[in-house]
Amino acid sequence: MATESAGSKGTPLALPVLPLDDEVVLPGMVVPLDLNDPDVRTAVDAAQAAAGSAPGKPRLLLVPRIDGAYASTGVLGTVEQVGRLADGDPGALIRGRSRVRIGAGTTGPGAALWVEGTEVTETVPDPLPGAITELITEYKALATSWLRKRGAWQVVDRVQQIEDVSLLADNSGYSPFLTVQQKVTLLETADPVARLKLATEQLREHLAEQDVAESIAKDVQEGVDKQQREFLLRRQLEAVRKELRELNGEKGTDDESDDYRTRVEAADLPERVREAALKEVDKLERSSDQSPEGGWIRTWLDTVLELPWDERTEDQYDIQGARAVLDAEHAGLADVKERITEYLAVRKRRADRGLGVVGGRRGGAVLALVGPPGVGKTSLGESVAHAMGRKFVRVALGGVRDEAEIRGHRRTYVGALPGRIVRAIKEAGSMNPVVLLDEIDKVGSDFRGDPAAALLEVLDPAQNHTFRDHYLEVELDLSDVVFLATANVLESIPEALLDRMELVRLDGYTEDEKVVIARDHLVPRQLERAGLGADEVTLAESALRGLAGEYTREAGVRNLERAVARLLRKVAAQHELGERELPFTVTGDELRALIGRPHHVPESAQDPAERRTAVPGVATGLAVTGAGGDVLYVEASLADPETGAAGLTLTGQLGDVMKESAQIALSFLRSRGAELELPVGDLKDRGVHIHFPAGAVPKDGPSAGVTMTTALASLLSGRQVRTDVAMTGEVSLTGRVLPIGGVKQKLLAAHRAGVTTVVIPKRNEADLDDVPAEILAKLDVHPVTDVRQVLELALAPATSTAAPEVPVAA
Ligand SMILES: Nc1ncnc2c1ncn2[C@@H]1O[C@H](COP(=O)(O)OP(=O)(O)OP(=O)(O)O)[C@@H](O)[C@H]1O
């Protein structure tokens, strides 16, 4: 073959061009071309004219053309034979020989277009590296598998025999599945190894596609078979049913869908809802009894028919009456009731004037009651409903992570349900109830969407008149619903939601308030539950005070109510057993005999040696947790210089902010400790361990700064921290005491725990206005600006003259 390719490689050739529009000829291929095609005729004529009497066959350049643009490389072809094609037309047999890079146009005999070109030199390493032989084997394996699928057995042998990398790659030119563009790319890839790689890739992709196509075709076929079978079976089933009905003398009608139609027509539905419902009835009538769709439609229709579309309660309240209801149902809470009354007054005035609810951000459309458990948030919500004369529903949001919980599942979802809001309206049986979104701070979000975003839509007066539940799919007008929310902690309410709410804080009760609540509300309720008359058992104030102070320690009154219940059950049982005469008045002294020993003895009432602050290194702090204010103890110890780890160790489930304030406390003492006559050398050489007992409760916030500093200073100086002192405040690196939050809750907690002296930051002094006077009267509150003042107040004078024994951590 080499002898036939005229012109040595690299030298310019002048050749007539044969443009190819929808095929590509690669070297090694032999193709018949139709001489009736003027392009073919012109090129072949020119080639023959140029060849004349010279030796060798007429030569031309086969150049693919895509959208009128020529490829940059053509193939030198020789005219092997001119004669008749299989169909009888005149034709020429052309053999592709080698790649030619196309240069400038030139002239030559005949009407054809002439160009100059350079033959492409191909180099293949000899011997072939392993990778290339592997490539050859892979290509041949793929090609064989494809050819076998098409039954082209003879070709398999021919392909198997090609050893030349270049020829093997070009053999792909025969592949019918390649596009013209793909073939042009093969043509333009001059390097034979790269070309074979490309050809292998194309072949592999095609085989993979074919596999997928085959499996789809198979699935479709099977699906069709199944549908046909099902259809036939259904027809038979219907026929059998009909026979049976006739046998029993029944009429042959489908009562059920008729029933839905009449129900929908009879129901008081808004027009658009009726339309949607009738459409579903149509679908129901068309679907067969057994299809799952029928089931979905029936449940959906039931839901729609059960919704109180046309039910509303008439608001009947004057503001005085509303306030009276609030007062009657809850003791104390003067400022909270005032806020609620204001809210109701504004709502009522706007309603009377035909204005809507105040909307938008910070619009206060939603009242949020924030505070620790058991302070009456839920029951206040209920009172708001009573006060307005509306229905009340509670929607528990704790732990809701799925948007569908709020907005419903799409109907096609297995076991789909409407969301909680729609369910609440259904439960309320009116379109304008009071809906309490309980524990809105416990709404989370994850991959199942963002329930907070859905709530936002529910709460936004600009959007909620057209609330769309995914299940219901018809719009629901929520604009007349009064939404209230409750939360334990403000921090975990999603920002966007917080923005729409008007906050009302309930910080917890003093002991006096608890006694009143118990006397007026909890005891009467529990008496009734225990089947006792108000004239039969009386709880003296001393008993109530004992229950609130020593048997329970909480911000709210939930455990107090439980304790009252326990006490009354006991009395009821004793009476039934004939052990107790009624009427009976329970006093504080009788509590122990009735319900056992108290659980909460104040630290100050403990034996001095058993108090937690009996050893240096323990200080009492004040904190706010999800359960309200609380006292917490901070313990510090120094590691053994020989064996203990250096650096700072923190334990007790501390958050990042708290860890940072521990670092600050330590840094402060390292740099300023000497001024305070503390042996700070120990801090440099020995590891420090700070621990917050009650390790299972996560804690965070900067307000334990003063407590940690005090615990460390106590440890170093060997001076105990005074048992009656508790403290709160952030500390800066220079020892300044910075303001913190939750003063009221913390002071209430300090008082509950029997603390008498409290240290707070000076800049929190204004917060003392919120603290009930009776509490302030019992506490000695010291506002401070510098941590040195805290140490002075809190550290007891050194007791022994001997050098303090610094405790060593194991
Ligand atoms: N000021 C009060 N006057 C009368 N009863 C009260 C008062 N505060 C709370 N209660 C009663 O205490 C009980 C607990 O209140 P409730 O369940 O409303 O607490 P909560 O703040 O909603 O708690 P949680 O955050 O755990 O839901 C209720 O029975 C409620 O009636």
Domain with residue 36: its CATH number is 2.30.130.40
Q: Is 746 a catalytic residue?
A: yes
pLDDT at 563: 92
pLDDT at 351: 78
> In Å, what is the CA distance from 490 to each residue of 229, 390, 501, 504, 659?
61, 28, 11, 11, 22
| 617 dihedral zone (left: phi>0; alpha: psi -120 to 50; beta) | left
Q: Residue 442 — very low, low, confident or very high, per pLDDT cuts 50/70/90?
A: confident
376 lines ligand 1 (CB under 6 A): yes
Count CA atoms within 13 Å of residue 799 on its CB side: 13
Write out pLDDT tens, residues 213-231. 888 888 777 777 777 777 7
pLDDT at 251: 55
The residue type at 766: A
Phi and psi at residue 101, to the nearest 5°: -80, 130
pLDDT at 4: 36
pLDDT at 603: 62
Same domain, 496 and 427: yes
Same domain, 404 and 349: yes
In a domain, 775, yes or no: yes
Residue 706 annotated in ligand binding? no
User: Strand 737-738 to strand 808-809: parallel, antiparallel, or no bridges (unpaired)?
Assistant: unpaired
In a domain, 792, yes or no: yes
Last residue of a domain, one of 462, 482, 505: 505
Same domain, 754 and 775: yes
Q: Stretch 433-448: mean pLDDT, rounded?
A: 84
CA distance 370 to 375: 10
User: Strand 618-625 to strand 628-639: parallel, antiparallel, or no bridges (unpaired)?
Assistant: antiparallel
CA distance 18 to 657: 80
Read off the CATH number of the domain in which 618 is found. 3.30.230.10
Residue 778 annotated in ligand binding? no
User: Strand 757-761 to strand 90-106: parallel, antiparallel, or no bridges (unpaired)?
Assistant: unpaired
CA distance 413 to 419: 13
pLDDT at 446: 66
Mean pLDDT in the chain?
Answer: 84
pLDDT at 288: 65
> Measured in angstroms, how far is the CA atom of residue 375 from the centroid of ligand 1?
5
Write out pLDDT tens, residues 695-747. 556 677 788 899 999 999 998 888 899 988 999 999 999 999 999 988 998 99
83 has pLDDT over 70: yes
Same domain, 680 and 747: yes
> In Å, what is the CA distance from 781 to each residue of 61, 100, 553, 591, 612?
104, 99, 21, 33, 22
Residue 705 annotated in ligand binding? no
Question: Domain residues for 263?
Answer: 255-306
pLDDT at 378: 92
In a domain, 350, yes or no: yes
Residue 28 annotated in ligand binding? no
Ligand 1 atom closest to Cα of residue 333: 1
557 lines ligand 1 (CB under 6 A): yes
Most ligand 1 atoms within 8 A of CB, residue of 440, 521, 560, 562 to mutate:
521
1 has pLDDT over 60: no
Ligand 1 atom closest to Cα of residue 332: 1
**CA-based angle 379:381:387, to the nearest 5?**
105
Same domain, 388 and 268: no
Phi and psi at residue 574, to the nearest 5°: -60, -40
In a domain, 362, yes or no: yes
CA distance 625 to 491: 11
379 lines ligand 1 (CB under 6 A): yes
Closest by Cα among 486, 551, 543 to 518: 543
Same domain, 281 and 199: no
326 lines ligand 1 (CB under 6 A): no
For residues 10 and 732, the model is more confident at 732
375 lines ligand 1 (CB under 6 A): yes
Q: Collect all residues with Cβ–Cβ distance below 8 Å to 233 and sequence separation of at least 6.
A: none
Structurally, how many domains does the chain consist of?
6
Phi and psi at residue 108, to the nearest 5°: -175, 175
377 lines ligand 1 (CB under 6 A): yes
Q: Residue 255 — very low, low, confident or very high, per pLDDT cuts 50/70/90?
A: low
Read off the CATH number of the domain in which 325 is found. 3.40.50.300
Q: Stretch 31-59: mean pLDDT, rounded?
A: 87
Q: Residue 429 — very low, low, confident or very high, per pLDDT cuts 50/70/90?
A: very high
- Closest-CA residue, ligand 1 atom 26, reads 373
The complex's ipTM works out to 0.95
Kindly tell me the sign of the dihedral angle through the C-alpha atoms of 607, 609, 610, 612. positive
In a domain, 566, yes or no: yes
Write out pLDDT tens, residues 472-493. 888 888 888 999 999 988 888 8
Ligand 1 atom closest to Cα of residue 513: 1
Residue 408 annotated in ligand binding? no
Same domain, 281 and 264: yes
330 lines ligand 1 (CB under 6 A): yes
> Measured in angstroms, how far is the CA atom of residue 400 from the centroid of ligand 1?
23
Q: Stretch 525-549: mean pLDDT, rounded?
A: 90
Q: What is the DSSP letter of 68?
A: T
The catalytic residue among 98, 637, 661, 703 is 703
- Closest-CA residue, ligand 1 atom 11, reads 376
In a domain, 237, yes or no: no
> Measured in angstroms, how far is the CA atom of residue 418 from the centroid of ligand 1?
30
In a domain, 424, yes or no: yes
Residue 374 annotated in ligand binding? yes
Same domain, 329 and 441: yes
Same domain, 525 and 624: no
State the first-to-last Cα distance of the chain, in angstroms, to the nearest integer.
93
- Residues 36, 9: contact at Cβ < 8 Å? no
Last residue of a domain, one of 119, 142, 169: 119
Read off the CATH number of the domain in which 186 is found. 1.20.58
Helices (H), 530-595: 541-546, 558-576, 591-595
Least confident segment among 308-317, 427-436, 615-624, 681-690: 681-690
Instruction: Compute CA 267 distance to the chain's CA centroid, rounded to the nearest angstrom.
Output: 39
486 lines ligand 1 (CB under 6 A): yes
> Measured in angstroms, how far is the CA atom of residue 374 from the centroid of ligand 1?
4
Ligand 1 atom closest to Cα of residue 380: 18
- Closest-CA residue, ligand 1 atom 5, reads 330
Last residue of a domain, one of 595, 625, 644: 595
Closest by Cα among 755, 720, 723, 724 to 615: 720
Which one of 307-321, 413-427, 775-789 scores highest in mean pLDDT? 775-789
- Residues 156, 165: contact at Cβ < 8 Å? no
Read off the CATH number of the domain in which 516 is found. 1.10.8.60
Write out pLDDT tens, residues 158-200. 888 888 899 999 988 888 889 999 999 999 999 999 999 999 9
> Measured in angstroms, how far is the CA atom of residue 326 from the centroid of ligand 1?
13
Full-model pTM: 0.60
Same domain, 335 and 297: no
Ligand 1 atom closest to Cα of residue 330: 3
> Measured in angstroms, how far is the CA atom of residue 379 from the centroid of ligand 1?
5
Ligand 1 atom closest to Cα of residue 329: 4
pLDDT at 810: 39
Looking up tokens 């402060």 gives 668
In a domain, 600, yes or no: no
333 lines ligand 1 (CB under 6 A): yes
- Closest-CA residue, ligand 1 atom 4, reads 330
Same domain, 22 and 151: no
CA distance 751 to 755: 6
Residue 303 annotated in ligand binding? no
558 lines ligand 1 (CB under 6 A): yes
Q: Stretch 381-385: mean pLDDT, rounded?
A: 92
Residue 378 annotated in ligand binding? yes
Same domain, 636 and 694: yes
Reading the block at residue 542, the tokens are: 């001393």
Q: Is 703 a catalytic residue?
A: yes
